[in-house]
Copies of this chain bind each other. A is one copy, B any other.
Amino acid sequence: MRAAYPRDTPDQQRVATVARVSTATVSRVFNSPHRVGEARRNRVLQAAKELGYTPNKFASALARKATGRVLFLDCNKLAAHDRVNQAYYAGLYKMSLEAVLGAVESSTYHLTIDLNGSAKPGDYDGIILFDVDSPEQVAPFLSSGIPTVYGHHLGGFSKGLRAGVDNKGGSVLAAQYLLDRGHRGIAYLTGRVPELNSHKDRLEGFVIRLEEANLGCTILQTPVGPRGGARGVQSLEKKLRAGSITAIGVMNDLTAFGAVQELLRLGIRIPEDVEVVGFDNLPILDLLPVRIPTVDLSLDEVYSRAAKKLLSSLESQGEQEELLVLPRLIRPNSNPGDPK
């Protein structure tokens, strides 16, 4: 037998009694406050506060004939050879999840997560797609009629509610950093271009900033990951030793990790001889004997906004805006563990 636990949670009726109004008014105060007279509204809010009342989300959803649920779905499905790398991004997932949670928690909706992709639209009032890869991936959700918002690399996407990282802008920051440090011979390790939006945008932003400074850029396409980074450095070795290249921008930290390792192995000092700047702000950078700058995606910001946008579009059909968050540069001397 299922045990019953005393739930002293006050209900709408209690609040209504205390506030000397009807339950309908209490409901209105929480759903369409503007439709309630100020005097009564204040009485209700006061009573609710005193009693510690929170609307029961389940009953709410039931009465509304809605599911009352918002889905958070991890879409991160890359090519098979990238699967192993995904483990390094779990921290970003967790951070994003936390951000979404903060927004949904305070609404009348419940956050539901799905990690294995077995979710059907229709079971949810709203959907948040994490780390989508291609338009085909989002299409079924958008056409389902369920309000959907997705993130976070938006290069090739053009429709629906979406929030993302300004990869181009982030790369501009990275290039800017190297320029400020006085570098003139700069190389860039790119990856899966042009298939991957994020890599393409990052490359573009980097090159653009250098062009603005009337500088060229040695672009090298390498496999993504530590091994690719090492290989990239090997290709550049001559120029690095000759001093014609003194800085390297890398498309992500996983690859930057390998690049740094290889540089050190070759006896090239960082940052004295060569400087490297990464992207993603992955914790693995702390495993290197030297600190390098990187670009933080600000995914918490991205998904917090995404969630809020979705929730507000659940109230009124919103517009199909795109929302871009500018990443922030993490300097090698700053402590990544610091409070933001």
Interfacial residues, chain A to chain B (CB-CB below 8 A): 1-5, 7-9, 56-59, 61-62, 64-68, 83-84, 87-88, 90-91, 93-94, 97-98, 101-102, 110-116, 122, 125, 145-147, 226, 257, 283-284, 286-287, 314-317, 336-337
* Contact B83–A337 (Cβ < 8 Å): yes
Contacts A93-B94, A101-B115; A5 near B145 (Cβ below 8 A): yes
Residues of B within 8 A of A64 (CB): 2
Residues of B within 8 A of A101 (CB): 113-115
Most chain B C-beta atoms within 10 Å of own C-beta, residue among A9, A94, A102, A336: A94
| Distance of A261 Cα from B174 Cα, bound (Å) | 29
**A–B complex contacts, Cβ < 8 Å, 21 sampled:** A1-B316, A3-B147, A3-B314, A5-B66, A5-B125, A8-B122, A56-B62, A58-B61, A62-B62, A84-B283, A84-B286, A90-B93, A90-B94, A93-B94, A94-B94, A98-B115, A98-B116, A101-B113, A101-B114, A257-B287, A287-B287
Copy count, this protein chain: 2
Who on chain B is nearest to A124 by CB?
B5
**Nearest-Cβ distance from residue A243 to partner chain B, whole angstroms:** 26
Residues of B within 8 A of A145 (CB): 5
Residues of B within 8 A of A56 (CB): 62
Contacts A1-B316, A5-B146; A91 near B97 (Cβ below 8 A): no
Contacts A4-B65, A98-B115, A115-B101; A284 near B286 (Cβ below 8 A): no
Residues of B within 8 A of A226 (CB): 286-287
**Nearest-Cβ distance from residue A94 to partner chain B, whole angstroms:** 5
Who on chain B is nearest to A87 by CB?
B283
| Distance of A240 Cα from B129 Cα, bound (Å) | 51
Residues of B within 8 A of A146 (CB): 5
* Contact A113–B91 (Cβ < 8 Å): no
Residues of B within 8 A of A110 (CB): 110, 112
Given A2-B66, A58-B68, A226-B286, 6 more pairs with CB closer than 8 A: A4-B66, A57-B58, A101-B113, A101-B115, A111-B112, A284-B287
Partner of A122, one of B5, B87, B111, B314: B5
* Contact A97–B113 (Cβ < 8 Å): yes
| Distance of A87 Cα from B91 Cα, bound (Å) | 6
* Contact B284–A2 (Cβ < 8 Å): no
Who on chain B is nearest to A60 by CB?
B58
Who on chain B is nearest to A337 by CB?
B84
Residues of B within 8 A of A287 (CB): 226, 257, 284, 287
* Contact B65–A94 (Cβ < 8 Å): no
Contacts A93-B90, A116-B98; A317 near B3 (Cβ below 8 A): yes
**Nearest-Cβ distance from residue A142 to partner chain B, whole angstroms:** 14
| Distance of A283 Cα from B225 Cα, bound (Å) | 13
Contacts A62-B59, A122-B7, A286-B84; A315 near B113 (Cβ below 8 A): no
| Distance of A337 Cα from B316 Cα, bound (Å) | 44
**Nearest-Cβ distance from residue A206 to partner chain B, whole angstroms:** 24
Who on chain B is nearest to A265 by CB?
B289
Who on chain B is nearest to A119 by CB?
B105
